[in-house]
Amino acid sequence: METILLLAHTEFDGSLARPALEALAAAIALGGELHIGLAGAQVQAAADRVAGAGATRILAVTGDAFAQARYSTDAAAAEALCRASGAAIVVAPATSRWSRALPGVAYRLGGRIDTHATGLTVRDGAPSVTRWFYRQRMEAVLTRTARPWFVLLDVGCVAPWEGAPAASAQVETIAVAATQSRTTVTGIQAPKADEQTIRPDAPLLFVAGAGWTKKQPDGAVHIEEAQQLILGALRGAQASLGGSKSLVDSTGEGEAVLPFMTHLNQVGQTGSTPRHQKGLSTCCHGEEPHVVGWRFVTERRAVNLDANCGWARGKADVVYVADAFAVVRELNRLLA
């Protein structure tokens, strides 16, 4: 097996986030000589964290410039680490930073890159990458002869490496020539943590469909209550919020909307394909373009007034033919 470089960037506190440890586990499973390349303001804590992973070299690019997510500095760090390692295969987690910077680094090194990999295995002695095509409808296994071969591993596909940390790992510092950058990071604006509705690590995906904003059996729309019920369920179950296309589209059409619902929440063929263990669909019909986004959700339940909805046709394990307002009201009472 060829030499493998695991590329990781540290977080603001110098730690390694879960996606880096997932990519490390995938890199180790390939079985070749392992190098680890770290980029960040400080990397010693991260190096200590992975010191027991069996890497023959831990390389690092450090300095304040590498704390920020920024194409020029991220690409420069990754390029320097790859050149110093000389590894044939470079595995990295598909974080927003690496997803943006590594395709350019692969080009600089004359290599190739595969993104959205969901697994790495060895077949007939050759490393191979698994990924899905056509909005998760077909799974393919790819091999390549071109090197260096970069692989961006999607988050949540592999159990993270859980080896014990060690003290004072040996780190080889790699110098990077000063990079030209037009981007200065002046601060970060982010919603408060409790306003965050997309939680990839949550065990439960709570999906809201357009039914929440439609006229109910009493002839009226109950947007305010819908908001309170959905937010209550999210808070109580610490669930991640998904939406149907109809619901997120109505946000842009000036209709009665749920203000916390955006296109980022959309699940389905033209939305996302999240990987939660369980899913609860509410007021959503369960049409195929929506349900295709549930491919990786293993336990599925739906609440719909319509006993003939799409979920009832073999797409959910359990369908409650009921008023979602009443069900979620009761659910929130129990969660409280």
Ligand X SMILES: Cc1cc2nc3c(=O)[nH]c(=O)nc-3n(C[C@H](O)[C@H](O)[C@H](O)COP(=O)(O)OP(=O)(O)OC[C@H]3O[C@@H](n4cnc5c(N)ncnc54)[C@H](O)[C@@H]3O)c2cc1C
Q: In the sheet where 204-208 sits, what is the strand order? A: 240-243, 204-208, 278-282, 299-304, 318-321
Q: Which residue lies nearer to ligand X by CB, 44 or 273?
A: 273
Tell me if 290 sits within 8 A of 284, measured CB to CB.
Answer: yes
Q: Which stretch binds ligand X (CB under 6 A): 79-87, 97-105, 113-121, 322-330?
A: 322-330
Residue 315 lies near ligand X (rule: CB under 6 A)? no
Q: Which residue lies nearer to ligand X by CB, 28 or 291?
A: 291
Q: For residue 69, is it left (φ>0), alpha (ψ between -120 and 50) or beta?
A: beta
Among 30, 84, 258, 284, binds ligand X (CB under 6 A): 284
Quote the least distance from Cβ 287 to ligand X, whole Å. Answer: 4
Residue 205 lies near ligand X (rule: CB under 6 A)? no
Quote the least distance from Cβ 296 to ligand X, whole Å. Answer: 15
How many residues sit close enough to ligand X to count as binding (CB under 6 A)? Answer: 30
Residue 270 lies near ligand X (rule: CB under 6 A)? yes
Quote the least distance from Cβ 314 to ligand X, whole Å. Answer: 16
Quote the least distance from Cβ 332 to ligand X, whole Å. Answer: 15
Quote the least distance from Cβ 19 to ligand X, whole Å. Answer: 24
Q: Which stretch binds ligand X (CB under 6 A): 71-79, 120-128, 174-182, 299-307?
A: 299-307
- Tell me the two tokens of residue 14: 């110098």
Among 39, 51, 309, 316, binds ligand X (CB under 6 A): 309
Among 100, 214, 263, 278, binds ligand X (CB under 6 A): 214
Q: For residue 284, is it left (φ>0), alpha (ψ between -120 and 50) or beta?
A: beta
**Dihedral (Cα; 217, 327, 226, 263), 10-degree rounding:** -110
Residue 285 lies near ligand X (rule: CB under 6 A)? yes
Cis peptide preceding 93, ω within 30 of 0 = no
**Which residues form the interface with ligand X (CB under 6 A)?**
209-211, 214, 216, 244-247, 266-271, 283-285, 287, 289-290, 293, 303-306, 309, 323-325
